[in-house]
Structure 1
């Protein structure tokens, strides 16, 4: 009996110690607590900035981070890249709140549609932390600057490209990453405004992919089943064009269906080379990250940069490939 009690006592201590160790480890991994965040700023660094994206596991945001890290290294700034691995609004908000509590010197983050998001950005500003939104704006907040694509203009360019590249009647299926995301809605509206003067171009419907390849495949397949006359697609997020291309090839509709997508993922470029995707909208996420850090530095120095700073946008087709060597032009969002 005494042996059993001693065994249970030792087991309890071991379980407690293991749990405590795991809590400390995973807590550190979740928020990447560093000496800088704890107030022990490296004397080599003038400021501590944090970049918080929609999701870390995303090629598009990796390019944003690359630009931001390059600018940070050039200017002697410490930059942390924190946030949810996969898109999660609660984790996004929690990371911003923890960055505020850590009294960082500047905050770069993607604007999101959430009733708690704007008050949280305002909280950062109230505590003296300047905020720059990247890729997607939060215009009703107290953020200092928005840096990113003019999403309406990007959609408008996509509509103009379809008009230039096609002849005769076109029935278009629009697949958008999200019905709620402001930047996705702007990309759709710009496209609709560009084609509205063309009676030969009709929009069959809009479907949502939830920014997943599986969602885009499902939506494209449904379009082909529901609209036999469909002969054109517009995808407003990077995986949409890829999903459309896969279904077009599977149903042997490639070559008879015009597809314009978004961004320049390697798979998208392969489909452009094959002729399954005819064109794609190019964004410049590296430029967004680089300008984001430089803009926060300007604010910290007491300057007042332009509140809206649009990065470059373009359309590429097969004859534009290969892309110009250098920093990657675009990726995913």
Structure 2
């Protein structure tokens, strides 16, 4: 079952680490800018005309200015307030550095993507935005300030990021019999005496927006209106007959322990923030350990894979940050390991 909770569970570890490439792809909010990754010179200094060096690659002032424009256009595309020049430049720099980290890591790990996969990912992106033909696609690109090359590069980086994450998750071992039994005995409400639930969900990428959405629901505002205003996935949050084990361990624990008809959250899923209300709970037949085992294994495995992916991203960030040298005007602690002389 694929639903908005799956999105909440996947929304980027990338966004959480200030690497917005994958997260923004998943929630279909922004399109990223293309920039040329050029090589040359030593790793210790930043060449003239560049703002940063990452390993053997560099980010130029021209590339940073381009993404700053795209960030501003994207932020205002749906009627939002324009960011300040400083905010847009900082966000643009983070996206560019994060993308170079992904490209360099993928090269080191011998991870590649095909032109066919990139084209398919672009098609999926436009389907998410509701584009039905070339004119719609061109209109969206114009609104977001991006070109076709920008989109191809965006999807390439996002696909590489996803493959790197999946490769790390594949190394997770299956849970032991003892682990399965322990979970069954410690959480009877999830496994021995389960239920299925109807839930109204709002997913955001910022905690502040989740808190605003919760306050609005608690005041009695209409769910559909609040969902449209705050959710990263509007129109997808009314879920019926949700069963335990379908949406990731963190979300399952929150949803299946919450009281009915009360607004709950925000829940930090590790990649987004969840506000929800259980509108109906229907008891299901009791389950033996043997009957519940498959769902328990799925839940434990999903949790372990999410941790493995998060640990990998943390390591990636540490590895490449120390190889990132920045000029003084873009010295941002999250991204810059050294200051260029």
Task: Specify if TM > 0.5.
Answer: no
Higher relative contact order (CA 8 A, sep 6+): 2
| Structure exhibiting the larger radius of gyration computed from Cα positions | 1
State the TM-score, normalized to the length of structure 2: 0.25
Query: Larger helix proportion, structure 1 or 2?
Result: 2
